[in-house]
């Protein structure tokens, strides 16, 4: 069986057992089995359902990590929820596991290789769960990969640097005061407060030279009597910026508006951060190796230096929480349509081999790069 056939065989197996965040039990067992058979020392149930494989040359050198996400997305079909690998994490696993086999087969002469099969990327919690176990602590450089939708990279093209956006979700609970509908002056109408907050949020501005967006994504209020003043509203907001520093500023402004608008009406506002995901931080040193590895595989015409996307990726937590870690993230063009998170998402499987070759070369060149050892 050649490499392309092997990738597809692994992909087919994983594609048939899609499992959502922190439920990747069969997926994890399958990955652990492949790694063990290839000669890796395997840890299971890392940070929940994560799997980590270690290959040690027993010689000095850097620890190079390859990370794949594992979870699928859930879709509603009638009254059932079904899992579908609509974000391509099955393809990422197939690539990383094939690279792992190739590395073990050809052997390494220095350092260590760690294969990180990370759960729960889609809910933004998997990377943090793995970081908390300390399993990332000895890694010097870590690489990730994602299939790119067609508008970012086509078949035969590979992106050297994917800039994932910083994303934050906020929830605000507004408490007013109820009163009889005939006596609105005795109440504080939470719907009025909420509307005012939405309008003020829409009038907020950030530096137009930076990428940012801010949307109200939820507005729920009490469903009380039609002749009573409503005392409760819940609002949700989705904040995105291309730079992490801009996110801090945007968050501050949004919270300021919510609190002060509520106060203006005499209402109370509680704001809670429901989730966040940092944006990408670049490592110029790794970028040179990545560019070389991509050019070797698809030539200079296939190399795309960078792409910015408004999507978040929890891989960025590794860098945010371990700033000394060197990270690189590659985008693989594969004629992917209609788009990620679309249940009909499909791509050109013949392009997956490019992902394998680029990551394999990157691991070898990083192992031999003495600068990467702490």
Q: Is 26 helix (H, G, I), strand (E, B) or coil?
A: helix
Q: How far is Cα 9 from Cα 172, in angstroms, rounded to an integer?
A: 47
Q: Does 125 bind Zn ion (CB under 5 A)?
A: no
Strands 158-163 vs 112-118: parallel, antiparallel or unpaired = unpaired
Which is closer to Zn ion, CB of 51 or CB of 340? 340
Among 14, 35, 51, 87, binds Zn ion (CB under 5 A): 87
**Dihedral sign computed on CA atoms, order 291, 294, 300, 305:** negative
Please name which of 356, 362, 281, 365 lies closest in space to residue 325, comparing C-alpha atoms.
Answer: 281
Q: Does 345 bind Zn ion (CB under 5 A)?
A: no
Near Zn ion by CB under 5 A, which window of 20-28, 84-92, 93-101, 149-157?
84-92
Which is closer to Zn ion, CB of 147 or CB of 235? 147
Which is closer to Zn ion, CB of 87 or CB of 117? 87
Q: Smallest distance from the beta carbon of 229 to Zn ion, in angstroms?
A: 42
Q: How far is Cα 371 from Cα 140, in angstroms, rounded to an integer?
A: 10
Phi/psi-derived region of residue 179, left when phi > 0, alpha when psi is between -120 and 50, beta in every other case: beta
Which is closer to Zn ion, CB of 142 or CB of 254? 142
**Residue 344: how many other CB atoms lie within 10 Å:** 9
169-198: which residues touch Zn ion (CB under 5 A)? none
Q: Does 70 bind Zn ion (CB under 5 A)?
A: no
Q: Smallest distance from the beta carbon of 92 to Zn ion, in angstroms?
A: 8
Residues in the chain, total: 374
Q: Which residue is nearest to Zn ion (CB)?
A: 87
Near Zn ion by CB under 5 A, which window of 35-43, 80-88, 174-182, 329-337?
80-88
Near Zn ion by CB under 5 A, which window of 19-27, 87-95, 111-119, 248-256?
87-95
Phi/psi-derived region of residue 119, left when phi > 0, alpha when psi is between -120 and 50, beta in every other case: beta
280-339: which residues touch Zn ion (CB under 5 A)? none
Near Zn ion by CB under 5 A, which window of 31-39, 86-94, 191-199, 320-328?
86-94
Report how many residues bind Zn ion under the rule CB under 5 A: 1
Burial label, 301 (beta-carbon count in 10 A; 0-12, 13-18, 19+): exposed
Which is closer to Zn ion, CB of 84 or CB of 262? 84
Q: How far is Cα 351 from Cα 59, in angstroms, rounded to an integer?
A: 34
Near Zn ion by CB under 5 A, which window of 82-90, 157-165, 193-201, 261-269?
82-90
Q: Smallest distance from the beta carbon of 262 to Zn ion, in angstroms?
A: 34
Q: Does 167 bind Zn ion (CB under 5 A)?
A: no
- Distance of CA 274 to CAs 197, 202, 326, Å? 19, 21, 28
Residues that bind Zn ion (CB under 5 A): 87
């Amino acid at each position: 069986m050649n490499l392309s056939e092997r990738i597809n065989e692994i992909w087919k197996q994983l594609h048939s057992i899609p499992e959502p965040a922190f439920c990747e039990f069969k997926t994890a067992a399958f990955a652990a089995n492949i790694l063990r058979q290839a000669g890796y020392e395997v840890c299971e149930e890392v940070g929940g359902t994560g799997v980590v494989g270690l290959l040690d040359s027993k010689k000095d050198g850097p620890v190079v990590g390859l990370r794949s996400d594992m979870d699928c997305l859930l879709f509603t079909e009638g009254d059932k929820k079904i899992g579908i690998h609509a974000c391509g994490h099955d393809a990422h696993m197939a690539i990383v596991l094939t690279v792992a086999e190739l590395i073990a087969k050809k052997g390494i002469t220095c350092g260590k290789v760690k294969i990180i099969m990370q759960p729960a990327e889609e809910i933004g919690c998997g990377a943090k769960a793995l970081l908390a176990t300390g399993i990332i602590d000895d890694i010097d450089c870590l690489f990730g990969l994602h299939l790119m939708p067609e508008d970012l990279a086509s078949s035969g093209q590979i992106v050297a640097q994917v800039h994932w956006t910083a994303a934050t979700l906020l929830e605000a609970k507004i408490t007013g005061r109820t009163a009889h509908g005939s006596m609105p002056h005795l109440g504080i109408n939470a719907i009025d407060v909420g509307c005012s907050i939405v309008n003020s949020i829409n009038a907020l501005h950030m530096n137009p030279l930076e990428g940012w967006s801010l949307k109200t994504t939820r507005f729920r209020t009490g469903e009380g009597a039609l002749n009573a003043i409503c005392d409760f509203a819940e609002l949700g907001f989705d904040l995105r910026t291309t730079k992490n520093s801009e996110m801090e500023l945007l968050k501050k402004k949004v919270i300021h508006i919510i609190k002060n608008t509520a106060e203006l009406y005499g209402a109370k506002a509680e704001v809670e951060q429901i989730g966040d995901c940092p944006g990408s931080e670049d490592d110029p040193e790794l970028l040179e190796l990545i560019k070389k590895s991509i050019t070797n595989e698809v030539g200079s015409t296939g190399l795309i230096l960078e792409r910015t996307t408004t999507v978040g990726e929890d891989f960025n937590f590794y860098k945010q929480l371990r700033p000394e870690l060197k990270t690189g993230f590659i985008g693989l063009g594969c004629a992917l349509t209609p788009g990620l998170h679309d249940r009909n998402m499909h791509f050109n499987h013949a392009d997956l081999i490019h992902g394998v070759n680029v990551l394999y070369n990157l691991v070898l060149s990083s192992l031999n790069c003495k600068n990467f050892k702490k």
